[in-house]
Chains A and B, each alone.
Chain A
Amino acid sequence: GAGVSQTPSNKVTEKGKYVELRCDPISGHTALYWYRQSLGQGPEFLIYFQGTGAADDSGLPNDRFFAVRPEGSVSTLKIQRTERGDSAVYLCASSPEASGNGYTFGSGTRLTVV
């Protein structure tokens, strides 16, 4: 597609539920990044994929968070047993390669845990 697409744009879920957030990167971009942004803060790195593999998952806060990119294109961020503190905007970005230049963000998914 023309840009990075994220769905849903908004998600409200109850505490303890499981959620999946989807990211469809720019066609041909091999690098894909997930970030989380809380109000008044900059984006916080979660995980980086190069192709199908998670090259760096050091930003995942705990084992309730998991992400996959099985075919090297679309990625899904999965959150188990959601907590109110997980409420944030989850941003996905992609770039042509690992250099980080040409880095384009999607519009994000606003997750609210009630």
Chain B
Amino acid sequence: GQNIDQPTEMTATEGAIVQINCTYQTSGFNGLFWYQQHAGEAPTFLSYNVLDGLEEKGRFSSFLSRSKGYSYLLLKELQMKDSASYLCAVAGGSYIPTFGRGTSLIVHP
């Protein structure tokens, strides 16, 4: 099975940079996902990492270290609309993503 750990809540200032960490333990590995979920809405896909390193996509970047069981999501130039829950999910040997509890990010002016 998988065990995924991420902080429950983070706060940051508009315009700043924030890093959301995710650590995991898994039997088999077929990728790590980050999803954004606004209150009352479905999760929306942000990134997928299957190899070590940094993937950059606009204001969002995601990093993976498979040997350390560690990932982070980096959000730059924060905007108020970035206030949401950020879900880390790991696909193990079965390819089925298992989700963490999510990190609630609050961006304030």
> Which of B4, B96, B102 is the one whose CB lies under 8 Å from A100?
B96
- Count B interface residues, CB 8 Å: 23
Which of A14-22, A66-74, A78-86, A105-113 binds B?
A: A105-113
> Which of A33, A35, A104 is the one whose CB lies under 8 Å from B45?
A104
The proximity string for A residues 83-114 relative to B, scoring 1 for CB distances below 8 Å and 0 otherwise, is 00000000100000011111111111000000
Q: Are A103 and B95 within 8 A (Cβ)?
A: no
The proximity string for B residues 73-109 relative to A, scoring 1 for CB distances below 8 Å and 0 otherwise, is 0000000000000010101001111111110000000
Considering the chains assembled together, what is the distance between the CA atoms of A44 and B87 in angstroms?
Answer: 12
Q: With a 10 A CB-CB cut-off, give which of A44, A91, A99 has the most chain B CB atoms.
A: A99
Considering the chains assembled together, what is the distance between the CA atoms of A45 and B87 in angstroms?
Answer: 14
Which of B10-18, B36-44, B52-60 binds A?
A: B36-44
Decide yes or no whether B30 CB sits under 8 A from chain A. yes
Considering the chains assembled together, what is the distance between the CA atoms of A56 and B94 in angstroms?
Answer: 9
* In the complex, chain A residues 5-39 whose Cβ is within 8 Å of any chain B Cβ: 33, 35
Closest to A107 in B: B42
Considering the chains assembled together, what is the distance between the CA atoms of A46 and B11 in angstroms?
Answer: 32
Q: Are B41 and A107 within 8 A (Cβ)?
A: yes
Decide yes or no whether A40 CB sits under 8 A from chain B. yes
Closest to A43 in B: B99
Q: Are A103 and B97 within 8 A (Cβ)?
A: yes
Q: Are B99 and A108 within 8 A (Cβ)?
A: no
* In the complex, chain B residues 31-51 whose Cβ is within 8 Å of any chain A Cβ: 31, 33, 35, 41-45, 48
- Given the known inter-chain contacts A41-B101, A42-B87, A100-B33, please indicate yes or no for A105 contacting B42, CB distance below 8 A: yes
Considering the chains assembled together, what is the distance between the CA atoms of A62 and B100 in angstroms?
Answer: 22
> Which of A42, A48, A100, A103 is the one whose CB lies under 8 Å from B100?
A42
Considering the chains assembled together, what is the distance between the CA atoms of A108 and B41 in angstroms?
Answer: 8
- 16 pairs across A/B with beta carbons < 8 Å? A35-B99, A40-B102, A41-B101, A41-B102, A42-B4, A42-B89, A42-B100, A42-B102, A43-B87, A45-B98, A48-B94, A56-B94, A99-B30, A100-B91, A100-B96, A103-B45
